[in-house]
Structure 1
Amino acid sequence: MGTTGPASDRPPVEKRRIVRLFRPYRRSLLFVVLLVAGSSLVSLVNPFLIREIMDTALPQGRTGLLSVLALGMIVVSVATSSFNVWQTHASAKVGQSVMHDLRTAVYSHLQRMSLAFFTRTRTGEVQSRIAHDIGGMQVTVTTTTTALVADVTTVVATTSAMVLIDWRLTLASLLMLPGFVWVSRHVGDERRVIVRDRQKQFAELSANVQESLSVSGIMLGHTMGRSRSLTDTFAEQSRRLTAIEVRATTAGLWYQSTIWVVMASMPAVIYWVAGLTASGGQMAVSIGSLVAFTTLQQALFRPAQRLLTIGIDIQSSLELFARIFEYLDLPVDVAEPEHPVEPGVVRGEVCLRGVGFVYAGAERPTLDGVDVRVPAGRSLAIVGGTGSGKTTLSYLIPRLYDPTSGVVTIDGVDVRDLSFGTLAATVGVVSQETYLFHASVAENLRFAKPEATDEELVAAARIAHIHDYLMSLPEGYDTVVGERGYRFSGGEKQRLAIARAILRDPPVLVLDEATSALDTRTEKAVQAAVDAASAGRTTITVAHRLSTIRDADEIVVLERGQVVERGTHEELLALGGHYATLVNRDAQELAAAA
């Protein structure tokens, strides 16, 4: 069911680029760092309090000192908990802000991509990048920074405290750390590969669900008897994803289990070392110091283990960042000009001079040397056989694509020099594939003009001959159209799309097979309404039914991307060429349908 977009062979992610994501929140991050450092340092006080309790307060029976030290331990716990609450709130706010920035950046960049990108990329793939990939980074982005600062601070401070108590025991405690680091890097590399496979499989699954469980997909599956086959395909994709998830969960478990065993054994090693260093039955360190040291040791190994885990998480998340940055780095082939021309009053003269267009990978040009001029307020019809380039030509005027050669102008200004906002206000488009959002009729119409009044909605709907039908519905203009407008017939959706374009009131109107889904009677009524709405504006109509364009000021006939004939309906019929052949074919099809 199609292929995905960008290639999977990606260059390594620059870690500095990830760090730059946090730059706008550096003050908040500094506050988080101070809270985390404060929490880590305060938590180190307890082992020294324990040492004093065991070496001084208890042996000497000093209950007053014991009470102060015990109260100090409680105060430390309260302070540490308070620090943790504040830093969790602050770090979550920073992390979610970064996630918001990433989601918005990706969505904004994709909005700037040309139609070509979306014709070769499955919608499910795009959705997976925004939902699964960015969502998969959430834990890393929201917690890694604070955990990193907390654990580094704890490791440094704890190690220093351990050295103060006994440097020999400290050295024995740290001997295993290089091995732990090696294990962490090995597991991180393994998990990064797994993450790449998992996200690719997520994208496949999401694309399958988006396509097969849409209204169109369900209708096609049922009518073609492929529901069982589609279920089997989904089950196989889900099975592969399950296997990858199991690999992701179990990767490096034996390595990490070994680490935990070693860590759990370290207190025994410390007691053994302390016993070996005893001289004449007298240990080099006091019992209180030994208990404080083992307490610090456990406090050291926990953050050290988390640091190794963080390293693994960062290694895994690099693949997610790579997939997101890949979309952010996609070149924008239809870019908005840096210094757009701001025209005055738009008259609506449209010219195509020497226009050629070649789709990527195509063997021959779709358009080749097209020269067309449509005076302001006049109408042009574009006709031709399938694959002649009619629709492609209509895409060039609103800049859904840019021509490969030649230039498209409006009032003498290259459309590439107009801002997208100006161009959208100048050119209205009604395509042959009507798209409606899952929202009310009124909301769909106001997508063209958010500030439109109810009266303006009604006026546009009357012109498109859809108002009376809408008023016959129980909820009128508040009727929800359903996914892609499937609660309405093809003709009703077309008329809603026409009403939406009319509401925008553009000087130039491009109609690409806009009445193709209407029955003959409705088509004539809507065509008459569109003709009335077209008065005073430039109208370019791509037509399959030639009966709808007989009254056009000029008709252009395309054949294999070139203009082969032009003139009025009567002039072209008199030529007895391509247009006359198309008219005869049209008449035969209508007769056969009747």
Structure 2
Amino acid sequence: MPRPFPEPKGPPAVDRYGAPVRPDRGELRRIAALFRPYRARLATVLGLITVSAGLGMVSPFLLREILDQAIPEADTTLLTWLVVGMVVIAIVTGALGVAQTWLSNVVGQRVMHDLRAAVYRHLQRLSLAFFTRTRTGEVQSRIANDIGGVQNVVTNTATSLVSNVTTVLAVTVAMILLDWRLAAFSFVLLPFFVWLTRRVGQERKRITAVRQGRMADMSSLVEESLSVSGILLGKTMGRGPELAQRFERESAELADLEVRARMAGRWRMASVQMSFAIMPALVYWFAGQSLASGSATISIGTLVAFTQLQTRLFFPIQSLLSVAVDVQSSLALFHRIFEYLDLRVDIEEADEPVDLGADGRRVTGHVTFEDVRFAYDEDAAPTIDGVSIDVPAGTTLAIVGETGSGKTTLGYLVARLYDAEAGRVTIDGVDVRDLSFASLARTVGIVSQETYLFHASIADNLRFANPDATDEDLREAAAAARILELIDSLPDGFDTVVGERGYRFSGGEKQRIAIARTILRNPPVLVLDEATSALDSQTERLVQEALDRLAEGRTTIAIAHRLSTVRDADQIAVLDRGRLAELGTHEELLATGGRYAALAARAGTADGAVVA
């Protein structure tokens, strides 16, 4: 069935690897904006970097004085002071480096936290439609792999960039002050280094985009095939070896991409490194040629100090080149992260939301559907089309129909898991779109046909509905759902861990725990989406008795499939391709001899079998 959310497919401008050819300036501004709340700390880091770089440039000048004056003139006092100065500079620079590293990591981790929290909160705001068509492993990969992949860039790159730029500028000035001719000779190859680095960065960026896609595929495969359901399906279908082979293929492709990413431009970078090692020798040759020709006078101290500065210049430049490569590689990851942050939130809270019951009046739970229309896609036929039903407070509405007739969708419109495109759904006369999310969650409780339990204790699963519930509240809810006797028979009672998705329990037991969880929330409106579908006839009868007592004084919308739940409803709505075909009581609809009567006849009435 079509869904209103587009599948994230990456950037519009792609190369043969599927990655963006060049970064979007808007994305670069968004990346810079991540650091904006921490401007003061970054300014402190900048100050530490500047002081450290300045102090580091003093040592070569001290070394020149040692070689040109203190040692040749045997001035031990000057030698001692110069050496003490070099030692003090080394100690202070090291201390400043520790402080800088700590502060930059604090800022980087705060930025990482902000980014993870922003993505998670945004995903929580998306409607159910997004998650019905997006693989869980894909979502997990965006949060874990993609955000984790930019951690080094976010934590170290900004300060490394500033530190290296400051160092390069300071070293450049110092080299010119020492001897401008040697400086000019040393800077000849820098443009070539920059060009090589851009080529390497672009290649790694392309590979990174594909690699993250492969990691997302692997995460999805692991999440799907190694869950309890996946293992059961693989074993019962005899497809375990095929799944293992598929994983091996994905892993092999990922390993190949990792090798390509690490080897991308390795020869180019090796050429740069060799050039860094060769340059000091060339400086010695240049200085020797100048001295031999008599065109320049360069002292030994100046030459040694210059080559020391040259070493300090080349390492920061090499680091800057590596930073450029890392930044370009991370742009593909940032694009994937921003892609999720930019997903449209189609269900928003009203600007001035209504809080039912805030004025002290009791929430009765009177639900109405007023000419409601809903479609999952603009071009598709509506799933719900012009449905109008009045459900008085405290009554039960059963919804039946063939598969795909819109039963579940109609029930989920009450909880605003989807928004009606036309018409409206109201509770106590208030459009659900005008209610606050908190008020709507307190008012409407859902027990769906797919029971979900967290990998936690029974008590924790129940308290997810009401964190303030007492132990006695838990027992009362469990008793109402006919699950208390089973819980008490367990060695750990309510502290029993249910296992992943509750697979320690049978389907009927999980359903009763889920029903107890909803009972504990005590909502005025109940939506039971085939809530007893996993129960055997005897257990269903016990739970239905509890639900019948619970339904007294509250509104219940039961998406039904068994005659036993339909017969006693105050109203039965029969849906046909999204339209309301019939509405009435069990006896009234049987008497008309329409669709409901046909469903009942098909299912039979003796055994309470399925009607839809």
Asked if TM exceeds 0.5, the reply is yes
Match of 1:462 among 456, 465, 479: 479
CA distance in 2, matches of 1:500, 1:129: 31
Residue of structure 2 equivalent to 1:47: 60
Please say if residues 432 and 516 of structure 1, whose CA atoms lie closer than 8 Å, have aligned partners that are also in contact.
yes
2:308 and 2:235 map into 1 onto residues whose CA distance is: 66
For each residue in 1:99-126, what CA deviation from the matched residue of structure 2 results, as whole angstroms up to 9, or x when unmatched?
0000000000000001110111100000
Structure 1 residue identity aligned to 2:158: T
Residue 86 (str. 1) matches residue 103 (str. 2): no
Please state if 1:558 is matched with 2:571.
no
SS in 1 for 2:171: helix
- 1:327 maps onto 2:329 in alignment: no
AA partner of residue 319 (structure 1):
A
SS, match of residue 604 in structure 2: helix
Please tell me the residue identity of whatever aligns with 2:263. Answer: T
Deviations 1:448-504 (A, max 9, x none): 001111111111110000011100000000000000000010000000011000100
- In structure 2, the partner of 1:414 is 431
Contact 1:448 1:503 in 2 (8 A): yes
1:10·1:322 contact (CA, 8 Å) conserved in 2? no
TM-score (norm 1): 0.97
Task: List structure 1 runs of 4+ shifted beyond 6 angstroms.
Answer: none
- In the TM superposition, what is the alpha-carbon distance from 1:35 to its structure 2 partner? 1.4
Deviation at 1:544, TM superposition (A): 0.6
Matched residues in 2 for 1:531 and 1:127: separation?
Answer: 40
- Superposed counterparts of 1:338-487, under 5 Å: 338-344=351-357, 345=361, 346-360=363-377, 363-487=380-504
Partner Cα distance (1:570, 1:468) in 2 = 37
- TM-superposition CA deviations, 1:488-530 (whole Å, max 9, x none): 1000000001100010011111000000101101101100101
Asked if 2 retains the 8 angstrom alpha-carbon contact of 1:275 and 1:283, the reply is no
Gaps of 5+ in 1: none
Q: Which residue of 1 aligns with 2:20?
A: none
Pick aligned residue for 1:156 from 159, 165, 169: 169
The yes-or-no answer on 1:114 pairing with 2:127 is yes
Change over 3 Å in CA distance of 1:423–1:208 after alignment to 2: same
Partner of 2:517: 500
Rounded to whole Å, the distance in 2 between the matches of 1:399 and 1:574 is 35
Whole-angstrom distance in 1 between the partners of 2:533 and 2:69:
94
Aligned partner of 1:482: which letter?
Answer: G
Residue type of the partner of 1:220?
A: L
Note if contact 1:5-1:122 (Cα within 8 Å) is conserved in structure 2.
no
* Matched position secondary structure for 1:60: coil
| Contact preservation (8 Å) 1:183, 1:255 | yes
1:526-558 deviations in Å (ceiling 9; x for gaps): 001011111111111000112112111111111
Q: Could you tell me how far apart the structure 2 residues matched to 1:447 and 1:238 are? A: 37
Say if 1:441 and 1:478, in contact at 8 Å, map to a contact too. yes
Matches within 5 A, 1:61-72: 61-72=74-85
Give the partner amino acid of 1:65.
L
Question: Which residue does 2:283 correspond to in 1?
Answer: 270
Cα offset, 1:81, TM superposition = 1.1
Aligned partners of 1:270, 1:592: CA distance in 2, in Å? 93
- Give the match's secondary structure for 1:360: coil
Could you list the per-position Cα deviations for residues 41-61 of structure 1 after superposition, in whole angstroms to 9, with x for gaps in the alignment? 211121111111111111111
Name the % identity. Answer: 59
1:25 pairs, out of 21, 24, 38, with 38
- Provide the residue aligned with 2:218 in structure 1: 205
Q: Distance in 2 between matches of 1:289 and 1:379?
A: 94
CA contact (8 A) 1:5 1:125 kept: no
Deviation of residue 84 (structure 1)? 1.1
**Residue type of the alignment partner of 1:459:** E
2:565 equivalent among 526, 529, 548:
548
Is residue 11 of structure 2 the alignment partner of residue 9 of structure 1?
A: yes
Q: Match of 1:24, SS?
A: helix
CA contact (8 A) 1:407 1:414 kept: yes
Classify 1:101/1:547 alpha carbon distance in 2 versus 1 (closer, same or farther; 3 Å): same
Paired position in structure 2 for 1:216: 229
Moved more, 102-111 or 394-403: 394-403
Deviation at 1:446, TM superposition (A): 0.4
Q: Any conservation in 2 of the 1:127–1:206 contact (CA below 8 Å)?
A: yes
Equivalent AA in structure 2 for residue 375 of structure 1:
P
Report matched runs for 1:269-288 at 5 Å: 269-278=282-291, 284-288=297-301
| Cα pair 2:563 2:608 within 8 Å, conserved | no
The CA deviation at 1:342 is 2.5
The correspondence of residues 565-584 of structure 1 with structure 2, limited to 5 A, is 565-584=582-601
- With normalisation by structure 2, the TM-score equals 0.94
2: distance between equivalents of 1:238 and 1:432?
A: 36
Using the alignment, how far apart are the partners of 1:589 and 1:166 within structure 2?
104
CA displacement at 1:283 relative to structure 2:
5.1
C-alpha distance in 2, partners of 1:108/1:66? 63
Measure the CA separation in 2 of the matches of 1:389 and 1:589: 27
Give SS of 1:278's match.
helix
State the distance in 2 between where 1:196 and 1:479 align: 43
